Chains A and B, each alone.
Chain A
Amino acid sequence: MTLLSANTDLGSTTFPVELGKVREFATAVLDDADYRADSCRPVPPTFTMTVALWPSESEGSQPELGLSAGTIFHGEQEFEYLGDILIGDTLTARSRLSGISNSQTGDGQDMRLITVESRFSNQRGEEVLVSRTVIVQTGGAS
């Protein structure tokens, strides 16, 4: 198991931005815009969360974040928008562990905060989005 530290490479994922998935995701977040294959309307702002549906590629073994134990919560999420993401694009997300810390909850329970930063580029090599996710783990292995 790879020892976790800040800047651990978590691999990359390449996936297509597909009309059907955009429509499905939009409905789920109460967006009633009529997305079409030739839409020049950017996808919903949190659409890149769907990267979770695609397999990660990495040269070495995938670092284990140790999230199977305890209870995990999504604590925070941040997006920086650098360019539009459109239906028909192909995105590559490169992720790294950008922070890891231990803390305690309000009622004294041990808590681990894990920050994953993902940088998304499109098929033209343009960086279009930076995403940061803070995962909170309580009651798991330290």
Chain B
Amino acid sequence: MSDGRVRLDELSEGDECSWQLPTVTRSHFVRYAGASGDFNPIHHDDDLARAAGFPSVFAPGMLMAGALATYLTNWFGPGSLRKYRVRFTGQVWPNDSLCFRAVVRRKNDAARTVALELSVANHDGRTVLRGNAVASVGPGG
């Protein structure tokens, strides 16, 4: 039964998947703040962000982490993540264009899991997020 998720026999070490996101906007920041409860004003108050020395508000890191988790869930299936770890390495500004990238670093056929290296880069090449994950992979092979 095919449900759209990747199968173990379709993956090899070194395989890469990347996703180009729609342009991020202040509306994304605000929607995430309301949904998550992260009301750190650095993410929605431009006056305060500038007073703190930034050119403008920037994205909550967990917005990008949450969206990357969405793409991984779409790739491997709901409930497939076993571990997910991210480190925020750069700000994401309004109107940034982002690319999510996941590389299969290790494949464990016995456990039916893959270890992934993750990164998010913006349109000027800056890496804004680095991370890794372990995902269970569905039947196949």
A140 at the interface (CB under 8 A from B): no
Q: In the complex, identify which listed stretch (B8-16, B29-37, B101-109, B114-122) lies at the interface while the others stay far away.
A: B29-37
B17 at the interface (CB under 8 A from A): no
**Chain B residues whose CB sits within 8 angstroms of the CB of A71 once the complex forms:** 42, 52
What per-residue 1/0 map shows which CB atoms of B77-94 lie under 8 Å from chain A? 011011111111000000
**Chain B residues whose CB sits within 8 angstroms of the CB of A81 once the complex forms:** 79, 81-84
A80 at the interface (CB under 8 A from B): yes
**Chain A residues whose CB sits within 8 angstroms of the CB of B87 once the complex forms:** 75-76
A3 at the interface (CB under 8 A from B): no
Q: Interface range on chain A: under 10, 10 to 19, 20 to 34, or 35 or more?
A: 20 to 34
Does B70 contact A49, Cβ atoms closer than 8 Å?
Answer: no
Does B62 contact A77, Cβ atoms closer than 8 Å?
Answer: yes
Does B38 contact A42, Cβ atoms closer than 8 Å?
Answer: no
List which B38-78 residues lie within 8 A (CB) of chain A: 38, 40, 42, 52, 60-63, 65-67, 69-73, 78
Tell me how far the C-beta of A75 lies from the nearest C-beta in chain B, rounded to whole angstroms: 6
A1 at the interface (CB under 8 A from B): no
A28 to B24, CA, bound (A): 12
Does A27 contact B31, Cβ atoms closer than 8 Å?
Answer: yes
Does A77 contact B78, Cβ atoms closer than 8 Å?
Answer: no
List which A4-62 residues lie within 8 A (CB) of chain B: 21, 24-31, 33, 41-42, 44-46, 49-50, 52-53
Tell me how far the C-beta of A136 lies from the nearest C-beta in chain B, rounded to whole angstroms: 9
**Chain A residues whose CB sits within 8 angstroms of the CB of B66 once the complex forms:** 25, 28-30, 44-46, 49
Residue in chain A with minimal CB distance to B32:
A28
Q: Which residues of A contact B (CB under 8 A)?
A: 21, 24-31, 33, 41-42, 44-46, 49-50, 52-53, 71-81, 84
Q: Which residues of B contact A (CB under 8 A)?
A: 21, 28, 31-32, 34-38, 40, 42, 52, 60-63, 65-67, 69-73, 78-79, 81-88
Given contacts A49-B37, A78-B84, A81-B79, 17 further A-B contacts (CB under 8 A): A28-B34, A28-B35, A29-B69, A41-B79, A42-B79, A44-B66, A45-B72, A46-B66, A50-B36, A71-B42, A73-B61, A74-B60, A76-B85, A77-B65, A78-B83, A79-B81, A81-B84
